[in-house]
Structure 1
Amino acid sequence: MHSFIAAVLTVVLGICLTNAMPQSVKHLEACGDAFYIKTKVAWPAGNSGVVVFFQPQNGVNGSLSISLQNSTTTGNALDPIYEASSSSSPMVGVSGHLKLNSSAILTIPILGSIRTIRDFTEGPSLLRPSIQDAITLAEIEGGKVSLSRLWLDNETTTTLSFAPASQNGSVKVRDRRVTFEAGTYSFNASFNYPQLEQLSPQEVFNQHSQGLVSQYPDQAQSLSFLSYSNKLLAGAWRFLTYFGRDSMITMLLMEPVLSTGEGGAFEAGIAAVLERLNKTDGSAAHEETIGDYATFLNLQENITSTAPQYDYKMIDTDYFLPVLLVDYFVKNAVGRSRASEFLSKKATENPANYELTYRQLALLNAEKIINVSAPFAVSGGQTKENLIHLKEDEIIGEWRDSTYGLGGGRIPYNVNAALVPAGLRAIGALAEAGFFPEHPEWNQTAHNYAQVWEDNSLHFFEVNVPQSEARSLVENYVDSNSFPFASQSQDINSNVSFYGLALDGNNNQTLVRVMNTDDCFRLFFLNTTNDRQLSSFLSQTADHILQPYPVGLSTDVGLLVANPAYGGDPVYSTNFTNSAYHGTVVWSWQLAMMAAGLERQLGRCSVQSAPEFCLDSELHGKVLSAYNHLWDLIDANSANLSGEVWSWVYEDGKFSPTPLGALPPPPGTNPTESDIRQLWSLAFLAVKRNQSLK
């Protein structure tokens, strides 16, 4: 029953009808000048899907529209398909009705993997012959047309069929294209790949949080749709598979509401990370490649296998794991009772890890963190060279994983100033709880290392801009980009300070001078003890939240994750735009982590050994104001919070939200379509405004 539900819900969330030329297929203009409409279906099992592109037969842009119609039998826009099989996996999928206002041609079908679809829609329009040539088109009994493809595993088949549902409808195959007359058509999209075991909305929440199912039914259903017995999925439709960073950040933000114990969401997420660990060096996997695309990649290496492949290019993912283990197995009562049984399990997902226990895999990860952090932590080692760098030949390595997300930087701010010390603190706590008997020294060494990293990594990324220069930079940023809004430079009444995104950036920039929201990592993951440093850090963070863009990060649509106004070099405003994936845009989970992080720091003021900022009424008041201003922005943008990322347009004197994919991408980059549902964007089911801080 679970696999049946999973197939249905995927399509409810994943089917897309685009009635305007989508940015994600603008490069299709090379195929002709006709106007394209994209119809898409996606399934979590195997990270699979179907996409087909339509164009009007008359070739006139804007003349074709396609819409979903409710069934005259069930009244639903979409209905499930489930056909049991005695010899293979059941055929699951979805059926529905499409209405075309004029004649159309189905020009390009892609059946199989979401990764194959993304290679075409987001890359250089790649259509791989070994995949495309396997699609068979046929006219079948009853005036129907069927498109089907046997996967590279020679077992799985994806099928898409159309049949006239109105008297004037007619569908034919012509030269490997499908032609449609104006009318209404029924369609079936299905495949027979082994299904995942989905967690229901009730199963994904703990007992104390069951009320969320009825209170927030849409978000609860989305969380259920992305939660399975063996892993959590990152988002729909583009990332319907395991992503380590996304899963762990989500669990850490949503720990108060997620189900625990055997069969719960928390253990599913932890197990997924441990299962996919690289046993050779302890690295946590960023992403997995499964299903048809895994078979394709294996064949490129002359290997006939459906075995998954794992991506270990990211440098941040490792450090979340020990924090997550402490959160569950030390701080959570259910987790403490489950630790021995859970960690004694043997890996079953990644063939390379068979026979290794979860405890052994966790140890490998901890050993890596201790080893790579040691050079900076030892006496005299606090140099730039000993900070954590991106891997050689990689241009990405943490959450800002687009071409210009880090401004070309090689040494990321958030990894070095927050995640490394957080991972070390967690290893120390785990060692104190007896998790690593092989290394009894870690209960002291890990904490000592963490202290050095906490106190000595931050200054490498500090940017200080004198007041007069700051005003000039912001004014020039607005003028040179012909922005329709005011520079707000008159609000700059002192020097501007912030922590840049990374070191060693593009155009020989020693420090990527982009104001950003990555302060949230340090707020959420660390309780630092250097009072002077903490007070200064909180002050500048609060300033950025309270000050309007382009002076700060605040806009009507939320906090922008990047503000390049103080860069000076034109490369900054060129690469960090409101159409760039990690540009002057808003990410939901960053809002959640910033809110949760500020609350954690303000919460320290209620304990006996409170930090000094708590006793500074002016500073404490500013941080409190920033917290409440942030929540005002979050509340004002509640309609967008479940999505991955959104952008803005400036009209009628204010910033208004707009989909990222509705804007042309920066020069030299591929367009990006935001997921309609993203796992970590559901964090606001758990992250709530603390009314006592109002």
Structure 2
Amino acid sequence: MRLGVRVSTDAPALTPLSRDEIFNDDFRRFQAAVAADPAHPDRLRRLEREVRGAELLTYGEKLMAGLPNFATYFGRDMLMTALLMRPVWQPAMQEHVIASALRKLALDGNVSHEEALGGQAIREHAAEYIALVDRGSLDSARAVLPHLQAVRENYSMVDDDFQLPVVAAGYLADPRLPAERKRRFLLAENRLARLVANLAFVARKASPYARDPMVTNLVSFPRATDGRWISSSWRDSRAGYGGGRFAMDVNAIWAPRALEGIGTILEALARLGITAQALDSLAPAIRDPALAAWARDPAALQHAVSTWRGAERHFQVALSRETAAKRVAARLRWASPEERGYWEGVGGRTGPPADTLRFLALSLDGEGRPIPIVNTDPAMFLLTPVGVARARVLTAPILLPYPWGLFVDELGPLVANDAYAGPEVWEAFRQDRYQSPTVVWGRDVNILLTGLATQILAVPPGEDVEPLRNMLRLTIAAVDRSGLRHAELWSYRIEAGRLLPARYGTSSDVQLWSLTDLAVEYLLTRALP
């Protein structure tokens, strides 16, 4: 039986991109090689499914975050995907991502995290209408009613603001695209002015710490009306950052890279023939004091980059073997009998770290003190070459067996380990498991694998990369044993003393940053002999 499905809408149609428009020649040759290998038909089917998934989510106007959930624009998802997929994408794909983010940019340069359209827009406008009526603002409430279906933008996130300069800098520095094409792209749709507005936004956020590198000058999450800090980076559940105010990923990874991106972009604009006078006319945000100071004085910008690279020190945690053992024991006593029995057995077999346990805290509290949650976010450092030694240091806590670190042989790396924090954090994660110590995220697995492969491929000939290859093999084997490698996220349950992998209930079937597995598969053929 053959079924036909027709979908209609009163919204403007999106422009689908074909696989030839999405993927570069290197990837297509890789896919052809997989197709020519009759010994692994399942691999070809999986690859084809993911390529089709990419086609489903990729449009000229935007990349959608997933299906059936999150079937719309999400800024962070799109920008992170651009960074991970660069080895396999057509160079022009960067233009679709940057143009989409710039199209939705707030006037002050803030990147939109998420759009609400259709029924979601109506629900959000209705909530706004009710709130205005409750406050007695009747005229303002009436003004909402004629525009219930208008698209709404959510500018609440922090990390995407710093990721846009990184992606834009990569595009402008890409030698595969001619200068004239880049110039035309920037001058269309007011993109240059919008991009510079984002650079100014980042400069305003980053300049306090660049001037005075005290911990409370780091980039902060916003505060909710109830006094808590709103998780405003990728771990955007209520408990995601353990109640922290300053996120490690925002401050130690993205802020320094964003400032580097500002320098790259300003240099690229000059090479494209966009003079300082032209920039002043075309992009008024270049006059913003923070950005203008760095534009006039590249040495000052470089000093700011160096200062921000030092922000990592605020997140460093070092626990003695004895302290680590005591905290893990306390955490397991707090757990359910089933969890306690299983993980005490694992911990007894593996033993605590032989030496001081060192890791980067997930976040800092309101006073700038580390909240000691082991986490997968340091893998994002590896998306640019850092060297074998530093890569091993950054990944050591991720590959340390749980309950000491994050690694579970039958599952992969858990997204967090709260054992070294306190009962308040434990309870928060028990109430909100989305980014808790019971979950593996496919996104983070792909970042880790991409990062390790990036390091292997970047080292000079003759340097020993076998430790990094072993990390790749270990991670792949564990994730494959879960049977859920290609899911958005997955978890586990303990039954009769056994750990059983389980799909997480709200995960999407087709998810944008899970499809970055396509880049992982391509890179692994080069990184693993």
Q: Residues 654, 443 of structure 1: CA spacing in aligned structure 2 closer, same or farther, 3 A cutoff?
A: farther
Amino acid at match of 1:433: A
Alignment correspondent of 2:114: 287
- Per the TM alignment, residue 654 of structure 1 is displaced from its structure 2 partner at its CA by 5.1
- Is the CA contact 1:561–1:590 (under 8 Å) kept in the aligned structure 2? yes
SS at match of 2:153: strand
Q: How does 1:321-470 map to 2 (within 5 A)?
A: 321-334=164-177, 336-346=179-189, 357-378=190-211, 381-393=212-224, 395-434=230-269, 437=276, 438=279, 440-441=295-296, 443-454=298-309, 456-470=310-324
Q: Say which structure is richer in helix.
A: 2
- Is the CA contact 2:238–2:432 (under 8 Å) kept in the aligned structure 1? no
- Is the CA contact 1:642–1:676 (under 8 Å) kept in the aligned structure 2? no
| Higher alpha-carbon Rg | 1
Residue 650 of structure 1: which of 487, 494, 497 is its match? 494
SS at match of 1:630: helix
Q: How does 1:142-157 map to 2 (within 5 A)?
A: none
Are 1:272 and 2:100 an aligned pair? yes
- Is the CA contact 1:418–1:526 (under 8 Å) kept in the aligned structure 2? no
Are 1:686 and 2:514 an aligned pair? no
- Per the TM alignment, residue 691 of structure 1 is displaced from its structure 2 partner at its CA by 5.0
Alignment correspondent of 1:240: 71
Are 1:677 and 2:510 an aligned pair? yes
Q: How does 1:162-241 map to 2 (within 5 A)?
A: 192-210=10-28, 212=31, 215=44, 216-241=47-72
Q: Residues 539, 229 of structure 1: CA spacing in aligned structure 2 closer, same or farther, 3 A cutoff?
A: closer
Cα distance in 2 for partners of 1:476, 1:597 equals 33
Alignment correspondent of 1:496: 357
Residue 475 of structure 1: which of 329, 335, 340 is its match? 329
Alignment correspondent of 2:473: 628
Amino acid at match of 1:425: E
Structure 2 unpaired stretches of 5+:
36-43, 130-140, 280-291
- Is the CA contact 1:631–1:689 (under 8 Å) kept in the aligned structure 2? no
- Per the TM alignment, residue 385 of structure 1 is displaced from its structure 2 partner at its CA by 1.4
- Is the CA contact 1:578–1:647 (under 8 Å) kept in the aligned structure 2? no
Are 1:517 and 2:335 an aligned pair? no
- Is the CA contact 2:17–2:58 (under 8 Å) kept in the aligned structure 1? yes
- Is the CA contact 2:219–2:246 (under 8 Å) kept in the aligned structure 1? yes
Cα distance in 2 for partners of 1:625, 1:210 equals 27
* 1:274-317 deviation digits (Å, cap 9, x = unpaired): 101111x2111111111233245446243212331111111111
Q: Say which structure is richer in strand.
A: 1
Amino acid at match of 1:387: L
Cα distance in 1 for partners of 2:403, 2:242 equals 18
- Is the CA contact 2:384–2:454 (under 8 Å) kept in the aligned structure 1? no
- Is the CA contact 1:478–1:486 (under 8 Å) kept in the aligned structure 2? yes
- Is the CA contact 1:408–1:504 (under 8 Å) kept in the aligned structure 2? yes
- Per the TM alignment, residue 342 of structure 1 is displaced from its structure 2 partner at its CA by 1.0
Alignment correspondent of 1:560: 414
Are 1:572 and 2:422 an aligned pair? no
- Per the TM alignment, residue 495 of structure 1 is displaced from its structure 2 partner at its CA by 1.6
Amino acid at match of 2:487: G
Identity of aligned residues (%): 28
Alignment correspondent of 2:504: 660
Amino acid at match of 1:685: L
Cα distance in 2 for partners of 1:441, 1:633 equals 51
Q: Residues 450, 509 of structure 1: CA spacing in aligned structure 2 closer, same or farther, 3 A cutoff?
A: closer
Cα distance in 2 for partners of 1:285, 1:307 equals 15
- Is the CA contact 1:290–1:307 (under 8 Å) kept in the aligned structure 2? yes
TM-score normalized with structure 2 length: 0.81
SS at match of 2:52: helix
Residue 549 of structure 1: which of 379, 402, 407 is its match? 402
Are 1:590 and 2:444 an aligned pair? yes
Greater CA deviation, 388-397 or 679-688?
388-397
Cα distance in 2 for partners of 1:602, 1:223 equals 26
Structure number with the bigger relative contact order (C-alpha 8 A, sep ≥ 6) is 2
* 1:619-667 deviation digits (Å, cap 9, x = unpaired): x765553343223334445x53432211112357653321222xxxxxx
Alignment correspondent of 2:343: 486
Amino acid at match of 1:326: A
SS at match of 2:239: coil
SS at match of 2:14: coil
Structure 1 unpaired stretches of 5+:
1-72, 82-91, 94-190, 347-356, 529-533, 609-613, 662-672
- Is the CA contact 2:216–2:368 (under 8 Å) kept in the aligned structure 1? no
- Per the TM alignment, residue 239 of structure 1 is displaced from its structure 2 partner at its CA by 0.5
- Is the CA contact 1:244–1:285 (under 8 Å) kept in the aligned structure 2? yes
* 1:483-515 deviation digits (Å, cap 9, x = unpaired): 13233152421121111111116xx99322110
- Per the TM alignment, residue 429 of structure 1 is displaced from its structure 2 partner at its CA by 1.3
Amino acid at match of 1:631: I
- Per the TM alignment, residue 332 of structure 1 is displaced from its structure 2 partner at its CA by 4.3
- Per the TM alignment, residue 577 of structure 1 is displaced from its structure 2 partner at its CA by 4.6
Alignment correspondent of 1:157: none
Q: Residues 197, 462 of structure 1: CA spacing in aligned structure 2 closer, same or farther, 3 A cutoff?
A: same
Amino acid at match of 1:308: V
- Per the TM alignment, residue 460 of structure 1 is displaced from its structure 2 partner at its CA by 0.9
* 1:333-371 deviation digits (Å, cap 9, x = unpaired): 12645211111111xxxxxxxxxx101100011112122
Cα distance in 2 for partners of 1:296, 1:404 equals 25
Amino acid at match of 2:156: K
Greater CA deviation, 251-260 or 409-418?
251-260
Cα distance in 2 for partners of 1:223, 1:269 equals 14
Cα distance in 2 for partners of 1:659, 1:590 equals 16
* 1:80-119 deviation digits (Å, cap 9, x = unpaired): 12xxxxxxxxxx26xxxxxxxxxxxxxxxxxxxxxxxxxx
Cα distance in 1 for partners of 2:182, 2:200 equals 19
SS at match of 1:210: helix
TM-score normalized with structure 1 length: 0.62
SS at match of 1:80: coil
- Is the CA contact 1:199–1:229 (under 8 Å) kept in the aligned structure 2? yes
Amino acid at match of 1:367: A
SS at match of 1:257: coil
Amino acid at match of 1:428: G
Are 1:80 and 2:21 an aligned pair? no
- Is the CA contact 1:231–1:272 (under 8 Å) kept in the aligned structure 2? yes
- Is the CA contact 1:524–1:596 (under 8 Å) kept in the aligned structure 2? yes
How large is the Cα RMSD of the aligned pairs? 2.7
SS at match of 2:365: strand
SS at match of 1:400: coil
SS at match of 2:369: strand
Cα distance in 2 for partners of 1:384, 1:429 equals 27
- Is the CA contact 1:599–1:690 (under 8 Å) kept in the aligned structure 2? no
SS at match of 2:177: helix
SS at match of 1:658: strand
* 1:187-217 deviation digits (Å, cap 9, x = unpaired): xxxx554432222334322343335496422
- Per the TM alignment, residue 580 of structure 1 is displaced from its structure 2 partner at its CA by 0.6
Amino acid at match of 1:517: T
SS at match of 2:112: coil
